[in-house]
Structure 1
Amino acid sequence: MSKVLFVVTGAEYWELADGTKHPTGVWAEEVVVPHETFTSAGHEVVVATPGGVVPQVDKRSLLPEYTGGQEGAARMVEAVAGVEELRKPIRLEDVDLDDYAAVYYPGGHGPMEDLAVDQNSGRLLVTAMRTDKPLGIVCHGPAAMLAAVTEGGVNVFAGRRVTGFTNVEEAQAGFGDKARWLLQDRLVELGAQFQEGTAWAPNVVVDGNLVTGQNPASSAQAAVELLRKLA
């Protein structure tokens, strides 16, 4: 059995351009679906957060409008409760990447607040890319790429094919004109080759060891692609 590291945001809010603190956290589907994929295949999941804080699940990700109705919401609430690793995270600062066969970053707006500037996460990503460690990153999780800068000042994702939550999706979610910055813009600025798919539809980009997914609907396919790299 191999261990898969889930690097999860510890942020409970996302500060908007006007200083408003929007309640957020990690997006439920982006944890639940990959967790089921990996554990069903016999892998162990370990959750790490900055400081080892217990992560907040974005309450919007448990609402019927985001889960396909009342039954879907009930299933998602139950599924989140079943991910015991969320309640006992380890400190991201203490992670030894050699202990893990793969790394996965779920989204939610939380990574825009903390992982985007977290140097421990940045160093982990630099190491993962330099060693070709299977790495999956979904939705707003690619915000963590912004901190993945080498000693020479080069971002390890420059030139790599990636996707993530798009400007169009951010606008349709109601935050396009409220955010301090937009994820797609920043990924393009760092030199990544951003590949935008249809809003809210599954879109997964595979580039070597790196698997990125555009939105929550992409998390299942991204997990499957990452699982193939573990086979």
Structure 2
Amino acid sequence: MARILIVLSGVDYWTLTDGSKHPSGYWAEEFVVPHRILTQAGFTVDIAAPEDGKPTADPVSLRPEVAGPEADAFAAYIEDAAEALAHPRTLSDIDTADYDAIFLPGGHGPMEDLAHDPDLGRILIEADAAGKIIAPVCHGPAALLSANLPGGRWLFAGRTLTVFTNEEERLNGTADRAPWLVETVLTARGAVVRSAPETWKANVVVDGNLFSGQNPASSEPLAERVVAALTDR
């Protein structure tokens, strides 16, 4: 059976434009739903984070008014996974050859650490070279920025993907406090961004081995696409 590596941010904050640290981390739905779908498919799923990282769910992502009726279920799932989350594999120790896919949940946390992590950059470069599935969702594509080739060229320049849009960031009330916007930076680095016609709607874009989801609502269909692709293989 396939083996999946879920890479989570290891911080519990997001540094805003004024230098203050806003409580953040990974987005609960974007970890819980894919983890559940991938494990139910019979795949082995490991969790990894930067060295000394402590993956933490963004507290906002567990509020009932945000997460909806599944808020308690998300919190319970995270509690059940507490041991694995407390002791994630360290990115520097990961042998990419051990995995069939790399899944990258969002939340603002990845903008803080994963976007600049050289160990993740190595993993993504090796995974892409081997044709392994790379699947970021929402703010998870920020982590793709870590994959820089010799000479500074970005690995994913020219690739088509989707990401939490600038408009969704604005509607979320965080755009004016963000030190940078993921859609803007990915586009500037050369990505071709394809967004859903309506904000907050599920949207999955596949470009070769790069599978991406736009927002939290895209977590389920993205994970299902990964399962289908690996099953077909």
Shorter-chain TM range is: over 0.9
Larger deviation, residues 26-35 vs 84-93: 84-93
Equivalent residue for 2:213? 213
For residue 67 of structure 2, what is the amino acid of its counterpart?
A: T
Q: Does 1:48 align with 2:54?
A: no
1:128-184 alpha-carbon deviations (Å, 9 max, x no partner): 112111111001111111121111321111111011110001111111111111000
Distance 1:87 1:34 in 2: 19
Equivalent residue for 1:60? 60
1:72-101 alpha-carbon deviations (Å, 9 max, x no partner): 222221122122432321111100000111
Contact (CA 8 Å) 2:137, 2:215: kept in 1 or not?
yes
Equivalent residue for 1:230? 230
TM-score, normalised by the number of residues in structure 2: 0.95
Matches within 5 A, 1:101-180: 101-180=100-179
Distance 2:128 2:147 in 1: 9
For residue 226 of structure 1, what is the amino acid of its counterpart?
A: V
Larger deviation, residues 75-84 vs 178-187: 75-84
Q: Which runs of 5+ in 1 are unaligned?
A: none
Larger deviation, residues 199-208 vs 52-61: 52-61
Equivalent residue for 2:14? 14
Residue of structure 1 aligned with 2:81, choices 83, 94, 100 = 83
For residue 119 of structure 1, what is the amino acid of its counterpart?
A: P
Distance 1:67 1:162 in 2: 25
Give secondary structure in 1 for the equivalent of 2:175: coil
- Percent identity between the two aligned chains: 47
Distance 2:54 2:76 in 1: 18
Cα RMSD over matched residues? 1.1
1:8-50 alpha-carbon deviations (Å, 9 max, x no partner): 1001111011111111001110011111111111111100000
Q: Which runs of 5+ in 2 are unaligned?
A: none
Equivalent residue for 1:93? 92
Per-residue deviation at 1:52? 4.5
TM-score, normalised by the number of residues in structure 1: 0.96
For residue 215 of structure 2, what is the amino acid of its counterpart?
A: N
Per-residue deviation at 1:53? 2.6
Distance 1:26 1:153 in 2: 28
Report the count of equivalent residues: 229
Give secondary structure in 1 for the equivalent of 2:72: helix
Contact (CA 8 Å) 2:9, 2:53: kept in 1 or not?
no
Equivalent residue for 2:200? 200
